[in-house]
């Protein structure tokens, strides 16, 4: 009887270990994310008229490198009039190791603002992107493949170049540097460069972040009024952004 009990115990332990290993080796990964930020800055420009944002999304990744996802945020009706006050991002791509230590990423991203129109032009946009990450450095090039592009028309061929460097300066603490260049086809007066220096700290229950964001955008081109016309704001001016986020 003791031998039977021992055998049963060993079998149960083996089955439990095998089940855990099988789960760990799953080809499918699902994750979600949630963020609350003092301002939503997209490529250095506030999308919320300088006000707070609640953001979240989910991602599916396959072990082959293929992934799809969705991300959402509130946006300001002062900048995206007649809409639902919502930005929805839909994307799909493929990540792979191009060489030891170098990860490449290529995909397609759709920016969708339900119901919104800027001077009769939909602010929706579609970009094809390609990126690479090597150790602490990453670069990404996003190319507009839609005619309409964030409120501009005949803008296919516009692009954004994104360069980042991230360093772990202490346990679970990361210092990040960013510089990006936005170019608009047939609307060069709106071109600009944006910069960011930020620190994030993972506390387990959530990740806290503080970033200093700046641009050299022409103020007159990025100043908006509220619906009543009683207040104007340059949404490109330098600011600090505080955030708390959680991935699950």
Residue 209: what pLDDT? 98
Q: Residues 103, 130: contact at Cβ < 8 Å?
A: no
| The pLDDT value given to residue 227 | 84
pTM above 0.85, yes or no: yes
Could you give the domains of the chain?
28-247 (2.40.160.40)
Residue in 147, 146, 114, 153 with CA at minimum distance from that of residue 128: 146
pLDDT profile of the chain (248 residues), mean per 10 = 37 44 75 98 98 98 98 98 97 97 98 96 97 98 98 97 98 98 97 98 98 98 92 97 98
Distant-in-sequence contacts of 100-107, Cβ < 8 A, 24+ apart: 101/134, 101/135, 102/132, 102/133, 102/134, 103/132, 103/133, 103/134, 104/130, 104/131, 104/132, 105/129, 105/130, 105/131, 105/132, 105/133, 105/140, 106/130, 106/131, 107/67
């Amino acid at each position: 009887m003791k031998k039977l009990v021992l055998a049963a115990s060993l079998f149960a332990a083996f089955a439990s270990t095998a089940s855990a290993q099988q789960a760990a080796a799953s080809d499918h990964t699902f994750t979600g994310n949630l963020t609350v930020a003092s301002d939503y800055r997209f490529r250095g420009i506030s999308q919320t008229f300088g006000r707070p944002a609640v953001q979240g999304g989910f991602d599916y990744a396959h072990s082959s490198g293929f992934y799809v996802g969705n991300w959402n945020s509130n946006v300001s009706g002062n900048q995206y009039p007649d809409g639902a006050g919502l930005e929805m991002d839909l994307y799909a791509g493929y990540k792979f190791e191009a060489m030891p230590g170098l990860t490449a990423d290529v995909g397609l991203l759709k920016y969708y603002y339900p119901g919104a129109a800027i001077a009769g032009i939909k602010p929706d946009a579609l970009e094809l992107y390609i990126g690479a990450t090597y150790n602490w450095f990453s670069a990404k090039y996003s190319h507009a493949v839609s005619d309409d592009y964030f409120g501009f028309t005949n803008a296919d061929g516009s692009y954004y170049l994104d360069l980042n460097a991230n360093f772990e300066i202490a346990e679970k603490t990361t210092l990040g540097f960013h510089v990006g260049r936005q170019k608009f086809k047939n609307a060069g007066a709106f071109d600009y460069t944006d910069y960011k220096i930020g620190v994030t700290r993972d506390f387990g229950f959530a990740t806290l972040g503080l970033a200093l964001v700046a641009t050299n955008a022409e103020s007159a081109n990025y100043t908006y009024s509220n619906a009543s016309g009683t207040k104007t704001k340059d949404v490109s001016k330098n600011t600090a952004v505080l955030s708390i986020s959680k991935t699950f």
